[in-house]
Amino acid sequence: MTRSYLVKSGDSLTAIARRTHTTLARLARLNRLNPSRVLLIGTKLRLPAVAKAASVAVSATNATTVRASLDRWATHYGISSNLARALAWMESGYQNDVVSSVGAQGVMQLLPTTWSYVEDVLIGHKVQHTADGNVQVGVAYLHHLLNVFGGNQHLALAAWYQGERSVKRTGVLKVSKVFVADVLALKTRM
């Protein structure tokens, strides 16, 4: 048994798979889609029945607050606010209550280990576990990845998705290329 989902502006297969607690490959296979192709708004997707329902859509007030937080922290860390917005939208749709199947939490979908690394190593103090705190930690980590990869957004986003060490060791994985393309496409609309 399956459920259906209508693709909206800002959606990607990767983001839909994460929100519905399934894999990109499974979602693409179920819908006979090529994950490297553009996902058209209005496309009706079948979702696996075992997937949890997507979180309630973010309210306009919350989205405005999250965008303001993204812009403030992007300015603070000297990175593109459009890039930060696109990444946050891709990861959670600006929702702070979303938790992935691997335990990534909130707006920028940070793993607890990443959060601790950013607090302990990058910014040197604890950060409240709020939407604004999540954005601060996420943007600080993105800033770090951009520095590590000499400002190369493709490599920084790939490292965000597959891990910094993995990108350095093996290069950008095929699945990461799709994620990077999706985020950079969103960036042009933010």
Q: Which amino acid is it at 7?
A: V
Domain 2-48, CATH class in plain words: alpha beta
Q: Which of these is catalytic: 83, 87, 91, 136?
A: 91
User: Considering the chain, what is the average pLDDT of its residues?
Assistant: 86
Maximum distance among all alpha carbons in the chain? 49
C-alpha to C-alpha distance for 117 and 105, rounded to whole angstroms: 15
Q: pLDDT exceeding 70 applies to what percent of the chain?
A: 92
Residue ranges in 20-105 assigned as alpha helix (H): 24-31, 60-77, 81-92
Residue 56: pLDDT band by 50, 70, 90 thresholds? very low
Lowest-confidence segment of 50-59, 117-126, 148-157 by average pLDDT: 50-59
Selected residue with higher pLDDT from 161 and 10: 161
Q: What is the pLDDT of residue 55?
A: 42
Please determine whether the domains at 2-48 and 60-187 fall in the same fold group of CATH.
no
Residue 51 has pLDDT above 70, yes or no: no
Q: What is the pLDDT of residue 128?
A: 92
Among 180, 177, 179, 146, which residue's Cα sits nearest to residue 164? 146
Q: What is the pLDDT of residue 34?
A: 81
Q: What is the pLDDT of residue 96?
A: 86
> CB of 15 within 8 A of CB of 8?
no
Q: Is position 119 annotated as part of the catalytic site? A: no
Q: Is the pTM of this model over 0.85?
A: no
Residue 74 has pLDDT above 70, yes or no: yes
CATH number of 60-187: 1.10.530.10
C-alpha to C-alpha distance for 152 and 159, rounded to whole angstroms: 11
Q: Is residue 171 packed enough to be buried (19+ CB in 10 Å), middle (13-18) or exposed (0-12)?
A: exposed
Residue 35 has pLDDT above 80, yes or no: no
Cα 73 from chain centroid (whole Å): 16
Residue 59 has pLDDT above 80, yes or no: no
Q: Parse the chain into domains and list their residue ranges.
A: 2-48, 60-187
